[in-house]
Amino acid sequence: MNTLVQVQPVETRWVYAFGGGAADGGAQMKELLGGKGANLAEMSSLGLPVPPGFTITTEACNHYYKIGRTHPADLRGQVDAALAQVAALVGKGFGDPKNPLLVSVRSGARASMPGMMDTVLNLGLNDDTVEGLAALAGDRRFAFDSYRRFIQMYSNVVLGLDHHMFEEILDDRKDVLGVTIDTDLSADDWLAVVADYKAEVERELGRPFPQDPQEQLWGAIGAVFDSWMNDRAQFYRRLHDIPEAWGTAVNVQSMVFGNMGDTSATGVAFTRNPSTGENRLYGEFLINAQGEDVVAGIRTPQPLTRASREEMGETALSMEEAMPEVFGQFNAVVRRLERHYRDMQDIEFTVERGRLYMLQTRNGKRTAKAALKVAVEMAAEGLITTDEAVLRVDPASLDQLLHPTIDPAADRDLIAAGLPASPGAATGKIVFTAEAAEREGAFEPVILVRDETSPEDIRGMDAARGVVTARGGMTSHAAVVARGMGRPCVCGAAELRINAAAGELRARGRVFKAGDIITIDGSRGEILAGAIAMIEPELSGDFGVLMGWADAARRLKVRANAETPLDARTARQFGAEGIGLVRTEHMFFDEARLAAVREMILADDEAGRRAPLERILPMQRGDFVELLNIMDGYPVTFRLLDPPLHEFLPHTQEEVAAVAKSTGLDADKLLRRAADLRETNPMLGHRGCRLGVSYPEIYEMQVRAIIEAACEVAASGRATPHPEIMHPLVSKPEEMAFLRRLTDRVAKQVMAERGMTIPYSVGAMIELPRAAICAADLAKDAEFFSFGTNDLTQTTFGISRDDSGRFLNAYMEKGIFEKDPFVSIDVEGVGSLVRIGAERGRATRPDVKLGICGEHGGDPASIAFCESIGLDYVSCSAYRVPIARLAAAHAALNRPKT
Amino acid sequence: MNTLVQVQPVETRWVYAFGGGAADGGAQMKELLGGKGANLAEMSSLGLPVPPGFTITTEACNHYYKIGRTHPADLRGQVDAALAQVAALVGKGFGDPKNPLLVSVRSGARASMPGMMDTVLNLGLNDDTVEGLAALAGDRRFAFDSYRRFIQMYSNVVLGLDHHMFEEILDDRKDVLGVTIDTDLSADDWLAVVADYKAEVERELGRPFPQDPQEQLWGAIGAVFDSWMNDRAQFYRRLHDIPEAWGTAVNVQSMVFGNMGDTSATGVAFTRNPSTGENRLYGEFLINAQGEDVVAGIRTPQPLTRASREEMGETALSMEEAMPEVFGQFNAVVRRLERHYRDMQDIEFTVERGRLYMLQTRNGKRTAKAALKVAVEMAAEGLITTDEAVLRVDPASLDQLLHPTIDPAADRDLIAAGLPASPGAATGKIVFTAEAAEREGAFEPVILVRDETSPEDIRGMDAARGVVTARGGMTSHAAVVARGMGRPCVCGAAELRINAAAGELRARGRVFKAGDIITIDGSRGEILAGAIAMIEPELSGDFGVLMGWADAARRLKVRANAETPLDARTARQFGAEGIGLVRTEHMFFDEARLAAVREMILADDEAGRRAPLERILPMQRGDFVELLNIMDGYPVTFRLLDPPLHEFLPHTQEEVAAVAKSTGLDADKLLRRAADLRETNPMLGHRGCRLGVSYPEIYEMQVRAIIEAACEVAASGRATPHPEIMHPLVSKPEEMAFLRRLTDRVAKQVMAERGMTIPYSVGAMIELPRAAICAADLAKDAEFFSFGTNDLTQTTFGISRDDSGRFLNAYMEKGIFEKDPFVSIDVEGVGSLVRIGAERGRATRPDVKLGICGEHGGDPASIAFCESIGLDYVSCSAYRVPIARLAAAHAALNRPKT
């Protein structure tokens, strides 16, 4: 904002009333009225029994913050008018000592933020009105109980006093009276408590507890607005990606009481089971209680229906049995609400002396399993369309369904916590080396526990059921590889002190030895002692049905990143339409190949490199044949050698000695070469296609292996091969031209030798800012672009993902980053470059095929971005393929129609 | 090219004739005719005596390559017609046995590429025409000498035979005849040599030497075109930034002979002295010789003028004395050419039997000193404008004038060669450690020789006269720092084997010990044994005059990168208009501060960090006061702490032990902290403003030091401070907003404490792609942008400059990089981002101040780019300030007028 003075239009409407079968707002006005306010208005308009009230808008909240925590000048008049309307509807007066109107003041943001912000109940009570309430209710004890509740809540929420002081006063009073539970206190006892409370407030604040209901009301409204910026609200927003700019509304509503005797009650209900999705009313209630009592857990709530009560073997009556008439009304309202909102509803209600009041309805939160079932069944019932059903299931939640998970009922003995790097759970014996994992993992389940992992550990990771590291973040080697393999993984468990040599780990004062059984929960980032009961994933019928609808709705293709036949088969089972990224060096870490690779690296000249490459060729070809067979008819993108060569060499003196001994390679030469190849910033070093330019013979061998494999597959008649050859880390069009010539030359030669023609394409991995900027020229020689957004994020931000752990947290805490840019694509920066690359590439070559193969390929928000710029496909790890399919459907369905 | 068939317009003109006082072309047609052809045409049009001929265009050359080394179909007819015109003008016939026309066939590209391409002289001679030549010349010996020269040259250039075989035949013949020099051979002797030559050619090739002049001509034309792509031409082009697409023209010109007796001669001349710039005819000639004899150096050429001869104490007559009439004509022609071309000319001429022929004129190459003098004097003479004078001096060449250089006459005993990392020369004793350099450099000149340098070596580098490293490229730490300090430096001398512990270095089988005297030539990248005579820089009057004109012509401001008072004063002397980059951490490496810095790094919390920061504050403030005083009235940009903290810690166990002992810091803690801070990719790590966000107290201390210093300077009345506070490595607008708040808060606080107001500005270093992309939002909080193009190049390309040495050479060789992007800005990629950043920044804040402070700030091509996008200033190392001032003037003068 550049102007110093905010001129506020005179006519801004800050207040929307509801009640008496009508409302100023409606369900569609959530942005302005918050979820609670919009739905109260909606229910009121539907003629449902809603206690009258009004909503102060989120715009008023934003305005409050914009002008320094001050209310707009014209708010007071609008509140006064609305309050008068409420009073008229209920036939009471705000502050009227004979017939007092009491109100609740509650927050209500656009998104549900349960318990994060503040609420004040029973507002309007003072030394005079409490007597009026007593008379009206015919219950003096109830009135003073309500008054003391109000003083306690208001003092805490609005006046900032600690609630413990009030509890102490109450406890002291009980001691004096010799009673233990609240219900044993009489009206006079409560009256005494109220006096003590008021005296305490005055002592603390130097002024009496406010008696003026207007003062009370404005204090509460300000407190609710203030609570939008309290620590826990800010934390919750960050966790759930809720923008600060949304603001909260304030709902002021006439009070109804579920605690006015045995014909009163309060409860919550779901129209279907939020855990299983079963289509049956689900919930609980308490007779003679206020909502806070249900939450407090002092009394055990009863089920709503007789069927539920019987299933649970309870004896206390269900609502259906205890108040059959009200239950009948309630059941009808509940059914109507689900039909009206066309979604499973989460409902709060109160019964005041036999009369039903609806206090809230909203779409109910549910487990992934329930979401699937509800969506599929509602579509079957004709309540929603199949596209709507697809949109009802959060793609990220599918992760819960695709992996074994720890039984929620099981006890958890926490050893240490880290990052939830790869979902699912696994149990096994601790091993501290990749070799041990390979050796022992063949016979019994093992968990690989290391400080960090490196490419040499891949076979060990594959042999283990799960992986734990003490270092590294969500995109560390261990995390990326584990997600790709579908292995649960906990990363960056910094409190672990691992001594692999001694075969032990220490954490929180406990010691675990190699061979001890642990369980890891990769979805929560926890390491637990012992074996724990698991729930196996169940890809039920609902899953298949919904995924079919999703596939029909989406435009983006979904491929997998996969190197092994196992990964490739898993990917196909999960519905992958090809492989978007085969890291061809993955196979180099196999023991037999590694020796040849190292011999090649040690060679002094091209001839010396060609001999070992000759030995690697048939092995690579064999791998590629398998992948092409599995992906019959689908494209397979082979990325040529990418990591710097030093990753293939041993580094420490000990490692070198061991390698030299086992391979016969010269130890001195190994050491010297490793030192020569050492890089200050390996991420920005001699890697990617720079290797192919420096040592063309390596890429020639790989291209040959790919085309020979394709020829072999085609000749066998078993499958139709669609190889795509991808050059990583391209930055200059001249580089791409060189690589294109190399690729075509070798491919032509192989096809001539075999006497056959294989359609193949050649492309570039766009993972450097310069590649995106120069995409127009790159597209002259590249038939496809695959955006490698991991590295593109690293270079665009100048952030090494290996090192970012040190400051990313401070950045998230300070609000500089809202999300980890390695998890969800940074649309403004990295996304801009992807967009530029796509646009410029298409300008040169309109049919250039465009995809994404970074970690972002499995992230729903990133997939939505890919859809928005019209990419052709996303590629992600095999276990995220269903998530990507569903996210792609969401993206297509949510895309603005042009 | 997408079409398969190139349709060539019928009417393309491939051939441009000249001679007889007229020409088809002219001097302005260098692109089409090459330099030589254009100037021959121009001289011909001026009516100067040019042997008639014609030029085949560079387009014909490009066409030749485009269609697979084949001439366009219509070329032959055009050549035939032009040749007939030449024959008519000279009254001879091509192939006419009685009156043969002989021609030279020479290359001629747009830019001079001396000796890189091929030439054939005396073409048209065969067994018949040689007799005709003999008769015409009345000199049979001359005719057969010419024939044998032709055979040798043609066989070598066109037929690809080694010239040694011809030299052997000639030597054999001389042995038989018992003579030693060519002039002792008679006509018959040469006839016999010709017979031997022809027999040798036939033996080698299996076919006789071509006798058909047409076949000879087309062979020679093809050979000249072919020579455009020979290795040395390609190498030369790369070295001098000459695009391959330019192509070469071919000049076919009737022969004239300087070797037809004592009234014939050949020579070269400069209209002014190319070494000193003195305005006096300069050159040499040989009587009775052909051009190649002058080059061959068998006979010593004579000076052109009597004055020169007398000065040199020669006795052989000058041209002025030997052929006064022709000299008079020549002198008049030469004066006319200089006036016509308005530049010093480099001229080739031949006198054939008393008649003058002009064979070439072109703007003469000259030393930097001569360029200055010629430009200033020509402007004084009114021949050119002062702006033209400015454009006549190559900015890069000034480097020669600003440093001591090795006397060109001195003997050089080469120890090893490396990269010319920082210009100038220095002599001193070898020291192998920074400590030794500091200790001994105070008393006698030392040269610091290390494998590589690090920030801790800075004081040692400063104390040394020059620096040598065995590792690292043109932008390694040693190179950057040495250039900044104006110290000569040779980097990446990989053949050096340095054993610092043993105090010796080995190279090429020799051993040098600490204390041995060496000399380094940083301009050539050579390390030489012993002390060698030097020439001190002379910033003569011409220099000052020209720089004054340059300053008047330029728009860009020029600042210096400087940290020390010495650097700052040097920068002011060289004309810097402020400091564009103070690396504030530079001062942290001072011993007293380093201890405090390390204590801060080891601290466990903010309080622990604040105590040592308090101790650093007054030291930083003191440094800043000095810089602000020196830069009185000019802006000084302070970049806050940038390098990762681990750069300040010792790393090896030994270093740690030493530090622990001397400072009392805990060794274990030092080791642990260094290990904690270790980064995989420090370039992309926890550095720059990320430190300021993580540890705001560090930046707070630095901002306080800057503003306190500015207050102190302003209060003293000694100078007017203009501090600019720059935050490095910004990538997000949210980050900039945080830093802006921090900066303003501290600044306001300090000014309130001091009761004064200091104008200061706050800006961002734009050195990440994301910063450029999000510049519009960054500019909300940044009042200036300084493009840090070193890091921006690293991240845009994904190339670590520390590691790029491994592949950049292969990339240059393969033509993927034309220039090292760390030396000259990559306009397409990195430049695009700078342009985007500038445009978007200005969109938000039209007066945002824009500058560049990378190494590119001193590179003329990069400065031209900065001018083209309208930046406000460039900042470079102090010693490059004059270069930048001149380059900025060039850029302004060369900028297309809109």
> pLDDT of A83-100, one tens digit each?
999 999 999 999 999 999
Chain A interface mutation, best of B686, B766, B801, B845, highest count of A Cβ atoms under 10 Å = B686
Separation of alpha carbons A48 and B185, rounded Å:
127
pLDDT bin (cut points 50, 70, 90) of residue B621 is very high
B794 touches chain A (CB under 8 A): yes
Flag whether pLDDT at B753 surpasses 70.
yes
B710 touches chain A (CB under 8 A): no
- Cβ of B693 and A807 within 8 Å? yes
pLDDT at res. B699: 97
- Cβ of B802 and A735 within 8 Å? no
| Among chain A residues, CA nearest to B833 | A773
Flag whether pLDDT at A7 surpasses 70.
no
Mean pLDDT of the region B800-814:
83
Mean pLDDT of the region A71-91:
95
pLDDT at res. A756: 96
Mean pLDDT of the region B583-590:
86
| Among chain B residues, CA nearest to A792 | B798
Residues in A closer than 8 angstroms to B769, CB to CB, are 769, 795-796, 798, 829, 833
For chain A, helix (H) and strand (E) counts, in that order, are: 35, 32
pLDDT at res. A540: 62
Separation of alpha carbons A84 and A89, rounded Å:
9
Chain A interface mutation, best of B476, B778, B806, highest count of A Cβ atoms under 10 Å = B806
Separation of alpha carbons B509 and A616, rounded Å:
40
pLDDT at res. B644: 93
> pLDDT of A576-632, one tens digit each?
999 999 999 988 887 778 889 999 999 989 999 999 999 999 999 999 999 999 999
Q: Which B positions 360-399 lie with beta carbon below 8 A of chain A?
A: none
Q: What's the angle, vertex CA B820, arms to CA B818 and CA B824, rounded to 5?
A: 95
Output the average pLDDT for chain B.
91
Using DSSP, state whether A420 is helix, strand or coil.
strand
Longest dimension (CA), chain A: 104
* A680–chain B nearest CA distance, Å: 7
Per DSSP, A575 falls in state T
B787 touches chain A (CB under 8 A): no
Q: What's the angle, vertex CA B214, arms to CA B212 and CA B216, rounded to 5?
A: 70
Separation of alpha carbons B379 and B366, rounded Å:
17
pLDDT bin (cut points 50, 70, 90) of residue B441 is confident
pLDDT bin (cut points 50, 70, 90) of residue A386 is very high
pLDDT at res. B297: 58
Cβ neighbours, 10 Å, residue B13 = 12
pLDDT at res. B4: 43
Residues in B closer than 8 angstroms to A688, CB to CB, are 798
Least confident of A211-225, A262-276, B281-295, B840-854: B281-295
Least confident of A20-34, A235-249, A368-382, B778-792: A235-249
What are the helix (H) ranges across B22-74?
30-45, 58-66
- Cβ of A816 and B774 within 8 Å? no
pLDDT at res. B513: 94
Nearest to B738 among A679, A814, A829 (CB): A814
Residues in chain B: 898
* A539–chain B nearest CA distance, Å: 41
Residues in A closer than 8 angstroms to B833, CB to CB, are 769, 773
pLDDT at res. A127: 96
For B735, phi then psi, to 5°, come to: -65, -45
pLDDT bin (cut points 50, 70, 90) of residue B296 is low
Mean pLDDT of the region A102-117:
88
Tokens of A87: 């009073």
* DSSP code per residue over B415-473: EEE-EEEE-SEEEEEEE-SHHHHHHHHTTS-EEEEES---GGGHHHHHHSSEEEESS--
Flag whether pLDDT at B5 surpasses 60.
no
Flag whether pLDDT at B1 surpasses 70.
no
> Are B186 and B177 in contact, with CB atoms under 8 Å apart?
no
Annotated catalytic, B890? Answer: no
Flag whether pLDDT at B579 surpasses 60.
yes
- Cβ of B732 and A816 within 8 Å? yes
CA distances (Å), B523 to each of A206, A493, B571, in order?
82, 53, 21
Using the structure block, give the residue that is written with the tokens 């200089």.
B338
| Among chain A residues, CA nearest to B683 | A681
B585 touches chain A (CB under 8 A): no
pLDDT at res. B444: 85
Burial category of A238 from C-beta neighbours within 10 Å (exposed 0-12, middle 13-18, buried 19 and up): middle
Residues in B closer than 8 angstroms to A830, CB to CB, are 770
Mean pLDDT of the region B527-534:
93
A814 touches chain B (CB under 8 A): yes
pLDDT at res. A801: 86
pLDDT at res. B643: 94
Output the average pLDDT for chain A.
91
Q: How far is CA B893 from the centre of its chain?
A: 20
> pLDDT of B39-71, one tens digit each?
999 999 999 999 999 999 999 999 999 988 999
A392/A495: higher pLDDT: A392
pLDDT at res. B424: 87
| Among chain A residues, CA nearest to B774 | A829
Residues in B closer than 8 angstroms to A694, CB to CB, are 806-807, 810
B33 touches chain A (CB under 8 A): no
Nearest to B814 among A693, A768, A815 (CB): A693
Residues in B closer than 8 angstroms to A811, CB to CB, are 690, 693, 735
| Among chain B residues, CA nearest to A2 | B780
Using the structure block, give the residue that is written with the tokens 């720890």.
A406
Q: How far is CA B627 from the centre of its chain?
A: 32
Among A489, A689, A853, A876, the active-site one is: A853
Q: Which B positions 723-752 lie with beta carbon below 8 A of chain A?
A: 729, 731-732, 734-735, 738
B448/B7: higher pLDDT: B448
b/e burial code for range B688-705 (CB count within 10 A of at least 16 → b)? bbbbbbbbbbbbbbbbbb
Q: Which B positions 823-882 lie with beta carbon below 8 A of chain A?
A: 826, 828-830, 832-833
A290/B868: higher pLDDT: B868
Q: Which B positions 746-785 lie with beta carbon below 8 A of chain A?
A: 767-770, 773-774
| Among chain A residues, CA nearest to B733 | A816
| Among chain B residues, CA nearest to A816 | B734
Flag whether pLDDT at A234 surpasses 90.
no
Among B491, B711, B774, B853, the active-site one is: B853
A164 touches chain B (CB under 8 A): no
pLDDT bin (cut points 50, 70, 90) of residue B475 is low
Annotated catalytic, B477? Answer: yes
pLDDT at res. A5: 46
What letter represents residue B320's amino acid? E
Mean pLDDT of the region B86-100:
96
Nearest to A684 among B683, B688, B810 (CB): B683
pLDDT bin (cut points 50, 70, 90) of residue B442 is confident
The four Cα atoms B575, B578, B583, B587 give a dihedral, to 10 degrees, of 80
pTM for the whole thing? 0.80
Residues in A closer than 8 angstroms to B731, CB to CB, are 797-799, 829
* B813–chain A nearest CA distance, Å: 10
Flag whether pLDDT at B3 surpasses 60.
no
pLDDT at res. A426: 93
Strands A510-513 and A419-422: unpaired
